[in-house]
Structure 1
């Protein structure tokens, strides 16, 4: 009687897909970085930069910066490894590189925010008290209109609130003659000549301003006046071309 004999070796056919592992690694890398940035953005939407304690906010920023630096280093190494492979999916590599750019942008933003808080908490001897920190402009959807943002800060002594009013004027030319226009007359978001403020660390004033026909802006003048026990004045002028250059 003849018995069937099993073969000593069994073979399994596996489909060979060049570059599959590298493609999968790049895609996973892209998703992990985007998830990290999305998580960070969610933290901001919950008030990360608007914490009542500047010291606590600085610590959070420093921790986030360290974490993003680590992820950035790992991502760069992954891209180098992918570039060394023989079969690389172009779309996967593009996604990985896009994620790297987003990570670099977030790191730069974090560094800027850290510098902002450090200047508030540890100022130089010549820059204490009420300060006009910045004024920014960005083109709006409407022609001749701009989104503006004014940032006031209290540098050094932040134990108590500072309050007062701030006036903003746009200085320019119309029909070759100098003209000064109050921000109230250019923006529907501003009702008074002097915008009231009250804060411990900083306060933003935001809105949209629209330039009248025939008016050529030259500079923006900001004058902030603190009242009460912390009475003081801070003034700063911003060149229009510097604010709007791309």
Structure 2
């Protein structure tokens, strides 16, 4: 009788995967947590939490938001109206101030003219005959260029004309030395050293003068000489700074 052979032993090869057990355990835990959360949410939906209450709260919030938006729009409109009203009031105030300044300027000019004519028609005893009433300067847009105006008057006896010549000189410094320049040499509007005049009450002499770059003006000297039966002389000196301070 032959001896029965034992089956050969079999070996199973299992692939070694590092971390597999850990990942498997983590997956199981995650699934457990998700299942628990789903059950909790289902319990809330079936229990105390009511969707109808959520919808009502949502509608109330919508109404409050709508009211707040409406109030916001009203407030913005009121602010715009106030700002427009303030702007209009400011413009009206500025216009009123401008009108007041213009009126004050006109009143001052009229008072000056009134004094001017009053002095001509009813002078004092010490101011009669030919007078150098004023000499004024106005700055031009170009540096060193000025608009000038000379006013001569006959005070008191205005029944007849007075005639003669008037000379204007600009006195100043150039290269640390005093220098006198005739108005004729500074203005294209003046042709002669003596400007001729003839008037009963007053006469203006106007034009534009240009100063040399290296000349510093100090004074303006005006000498008027009447000729004929009313022969007389009037002289007046004006400080340059006083003429240009405005």
TM-score by length of 2: 0.63
Q: Which runs of no fewer than 5 residues in structure 2 stay unpaired?
A: 1-87
> Structure 2: how far apart are the matches of 1:189 and 1:103?
33
Give the corresponding residue for 2:94: 94
1:131 Cα deviation from its structure 2 partner = 0.3
Residues 216/89 of structure 1: CA separation in 2 closer, same or farther (3 Å cut)? closer
Which deviates more from structure 2 when the two are superposed, residues 93-102 or residues 226-235?
Answer: 93-102
Give the corresponding residue for 1:66: none
Give the corresponding residue for 1:124: 124
Alignment size in residue pairs? 161
1:100 Cα deviation from its structure 2 partner = 2.1
> Structure 2: how far apart are the matches of 1:177 and 1:91?
54
1:141 Cα deviation from its structure 2 partner = 1.7
Are residues 1:216 and 2:225 paired? no
Q: Which runs of no fewer than 5 residues in structure 1 stay unpaired?
A: 1-87
1:106 Cα deviation from its structure 2 partner = 1.1
> Structure 1: how far apart are the matches of 2:117 and 2:221?
24
Who wins on radius of gyration, i.e. which is larger?
2
TM-score by length of 1: 0.63
Give the corresponding residue for 2:204: 204
Partner SS for 1:89: helix
1:195 Cα deviation from its structure 2 partner = 0.1
What stretches of structure 1 move > 2 A for 4+ residues in a row? 88-98
> Structure 2: how far apart are the matches of 1:192 and 1:174?
23
Alignment of structure 1 residues 72-83 onto 2, 5 Å: none
Cα RMSD of the aligned pairs, angstroms, is 1.7
1:102 Cα deviation from its structure 2 partner = 1.6
Residues 115-152 of structure 1: CA deviation (Å, up to 9, x unaligned): 11001111111110000000001111221011000000
